[in-house]
Structure 1
Amino acid sequence: MGSGAAFLDYDNDGDLDLYIVNSASLPGFVTDTPPTNVLYRNDGDGGFSDVTTDAGVGHLGYGMGCGTADYDNDGDPDLYVTNFGENVLYRNNGDGTFTDVTVYAGVGDRDRWSSSCAFVDYDQDGNLDLYVVNYLDYDIVEDGKWYDTNGRRIYSNPRVYKGVSDTLYRNSGNGTFVDVTQHAGVYNDTGKGLGVTCGDYDNDGRIDIYIANDTTPNFLYRNMGDGTFMDLGVIAGVAYNEEGVAEGGMGVDFGDYNNDGFLDIFVTNFSRETNTLYRNNSNGIFTDVTYIEHLGDSSFLKLGFGTKFFDADNDGDLDLFVANGHVYSTIESQSDTIEYAQTDQLFLNAGESSFLDVSGECGTYFSVKQIGRGAAFGDYDNDGDTDIFVVNLNQKVGLLRNDGGNENNWLKIRTVGVKSNRDGIGARIEVITRSHTQIREVQAGSSYLSGQDSRLLFGLGAETRAEEVKITWPSGLKQTLAKVKANQFLIITEGLGAQTQQLSR
Structure 2
Amino acid sequence: MFFSCGGGSGPEQTASQTETEREWVPFEKIDDWVEGKKLRKNVTISSPEKSSGARFYRRKGPSIGIDFRNQLNDENIKNYLLSGAGLSVGDFDNNGLPDLFLVSQDGPNKLFRQTAPWKFEDVTKEAGIKDKKSWGSGAAFADINNDGHLDLYVCNKGNSDEIYINQGNGTFNGGFVGGAKNPYRAPTMVAFADYDRDGDLDFYRTATRLLQINEMFKGKVLTKKDNSGITRAHPTQADQFEMIDGLPRELGTYDRLFRNEGSGKNGMPKLMDVTRVSGINITREHGLAAVWWDYNDDGWPDLYVSNDFHTPDHLYRNNGDSTFTEITEESLAYTSWNSMGSDFADINNDGRFDYLSTDMSATTHFKQKTMMGSMTDTAWFLDNLEPRQYMRNVMHVNTGTGKFIDVAFHAGIESTDWTWAAIFGDLDNDGLEDVFFTNGIERNVQDSDRAIRVQQASASGASAMELRKIFLDSPRFKEKNLAFRNRGDFKFEKLGDDWGLNEETVSHGAVLSDLDRDGDLDVVVNNMNDPVGIYMNLGDDSSQANLSDSSSMLISLRGEFSNHFGIGARLTLKLSNGQSMSRILTSSRGYMSGAEPVIHFGWPSSVKPKALNIEWPNGHDQTIKGLLSGWHYRVTESGTGSTESPDKVSNSENRLFSQIDEALGINFTHTENFYDDFTSQPLLPNRLSRFGPALAIGDVDSDSDKDVFIGGARDRQSALFIQKGGQFGRVSFPALKADQIYEDVDALWFDFDNDGDQDLYVVSGGASQDAGHEHYQDRLYINNGSGQLTRAPKGILPDLKFSGSRVAAHDFDNDGDLDLFVGSRFVPGNYPTGPESVLLINEGGNFSKAQCSASSSGMVTDVKWSDIDGDNRADLILATEWGPVRVYQNKRDGFHEITDSLGLNDFTGWWNCIAVGDVDQDGDNDIIAGNFGTNTKYSASEEKPATIFASDFGEAGTMQLVEAQYKEGKLLPIRGRSCSTTAMPHLIDRVPTYSAFASKTIREIYTPKAIEDAKRFEANTLSTMLFRNDGKGKFTAEPLPLLSQMAPVMDIVLTDVNGDGRDDIIIAQNFNAAQRETGRMNAGLGVILISKDNGQFDELWPNDSGFFSRADPRRLIVTDLDEDGSLELLMGQNNGEFQLFRSK
Question: TM-score by structure 1 length?
Answer: 0.87
Would the aligned equivalents of 2:525 and 2:532 in 1 still touch at CA under 8 Å?
yes
Which AA in structure 2 matches 1:217? Answer: P
1:285 aligns with 2:374: no
Correspondences of 1:429-468 after superposition (within 5 Å): 429-435=571-577, 436-463=579-606, 465-468=608-611
RMSD over aligned CA atoms reads 2.4
Q: 2:995: which partner in 1?
A: none
1:315 aligns with 2:430: yes
Would the aligned equivalents of 1:460 and 1:486 in 2 still touch at CA under 8 Å?
no
1:225 to 316, 320, 323: 320
Which AA in structure 2 matches 1:488? Answer: W
1:99 to 169, 173, 179: 173
2:550 to 400, 408, 420: 408
For the residues of structure 1 that align with 2:476 and 2:443, how far apart are their CA atoms? 9
Correspondences of 1:106-505 after superposition (within 5 Å): 106-108=177-179, 110-111=181-182, 112-136=185-209, 138-139=211-212, 142=215, 160-174=249-263, 175-215=269-309, 216-237=311-332, 240-241=334-335, 247-272=337-362, 273-296=391-414, 298-299=415-416, 302-329=417-444, 334=449, 340-363=477-500, 366=502, 368-404=503-539, 407-435=549-577, 436-463=579-606, 465-495=608-638
Which AA in structure 1 matches 2:85? Answer: S
Range with greater deviation from structure 2 (269-278 or 106-115): 106-115
Q: How far apart are residue 139 of structure 1 and its match? A: 4.0
**Structure 1's 160 and 143: CA in aligned 2 closer, same or farther, altered over 3 A?**
farther
**Structure 1's 259 and 59: CA in aligned 2 closer, same or farther, altered over 3 A?**
farther
Query: CA offsets, 1:243-265, max 9 Å, x none?
Result: xxx51011001111011111110
**Structure 1's 346 and 72: CA in aligned 2 closer, same or farther, altered over 3 A?**
same
Would the aligned equivalents of 1:343 and 1:370 in 2 still touch at CA under 8 Å?
yes
SS in 1 for 2:480: coil
1:66 to 139, 142, 161: 139
Q: How far apart are residue 110 of structure 1 and its match? A: 4.1
Query: CA offsets, 1:314-352, max 9 Å, x none?
Result: 1111100000113534766848xx981000000000012
Would the aligned equivalents of 1:386 and 1:405 in 2 still touch at CA under 8 Å?
no
Range with greater deviation from structure 2 (458-467 or 278-287): 458-467
Query: CA offsets, 1:170-197, max 9 Å, x none?
Result: 0001221111011111133143110111
Range with greater deviation from structure 2 (324-333 or 255-264): 324-333
SS in 1 for 2:137: strand
For the residues of structure 1 that align with 2:620 and 2:437, how far apart are their CA atoms? 35
**Structure 1's 144 and 458: CA in aligned 2 closer, same or farther, altered over 3 A?**
farther
For the residues of structure 2 that align with 1:117 and 1:17, how far apart are their CA atoms? 19
Would the aligned equivalents of 1:469 and 1:482 in 2 still touch at CA under 8 Å?
yes
Query: CA offsets, 1:126-181, max 9 Å, x none?
Result: 010011111136347537979xxxxxxxxx9x983113221011000122111101
**Structure 1's 135 and 109: CA in aligned 2 closer, same or farther, altered over 3 A?**
farther
**Structure 1's 40 and 252: CA in aligned 2 closer, same or farther, altered over 3 A?**
same
Q: How far apart are residue 269 of structure 1 and its match? A: 0.7
For the residues of structure 1 that align with 2:553 and 2:504, how far apart are their CA atoms? 34
Q: Percent identity?
A: 34
1:4 aligns with 2:86: yes
Q: How far apart are residue 362 of structure 1 and its match? A: 1.1
Would the aligned equivalents of 2:186 and 2:253 in 1 still touch at CA under 8 Å?
no
Q: 1:43: which partner in 2?
A: 115
For the residues of structure 2 that align with 1:57 and 1:187, how far apart are their CA atoms? 33
**Structure 1's 140 and 332: CA in aligned 2 closer, same or farther, altered over 3 A?**
closer
For the residues of structure 1 that align with 2:610 and 2:117, how far apart are their CA atoms? 34
Would the aligned equivalents of 1:88 and 1:108 in 2 still touch at CA under 8 Å?
no
Which AA in structure 2 matches 1:79? Answer: L
**Structure 1's 159 and 109: CA in aligned 2 closer, same or farther, altered over 3 A?**
farther
For the residues of structure 1 that align with 2:142 and 2:622, how far apart are their CA atoms? 23
Query: CA offsets, 1:175-231, max 9 Å, x none?
Result: 211110111111331431101111100001100010111122210011000100011
SS in 2 for 1:138: coil
**Structure 1's 332 and 134: CA in aligned 2 closer, same or farther, altered over 3 A?**
closer
Which AA in structure 2 matches 1:491? Answer: R
**Structure 1's 371 and 37: CA in aligned 2 closer, same or farther, altered over 3 A?**
same
The gaps in structure 1 that reach 5 residues or longer are 25-34, 147-155, 498-505
**Structure 1's 140 and 97: CA in aligned 2 closer, same or farther, altered over 3 A?**
farther
Question: TM-score by structure 2 length?
Answer: 0.39
1:82 aligns with 2:82: no
RCO comparison, higher one (Cα < 8 Å, 6+) = 1
For the residues of structure 2 that align with 1:16 and 1:494, how far apart are their CA atoms? 22
Which AA in structure 2 matches 1:133? Answer: T
Q: 1:500: which partner in 2?
A: none
Which AA in structure 2 matches 1:295? Answer: I
**Structure 1's 194 and 405: CA in aligned 2 closer, same or farther, altered over 3 A?**
farther
For the residues of structure 2 that align with 1:359 and 1:345, how far apart are their CA atoms? 5
Equivalent pairs counted in the alignment come to 463
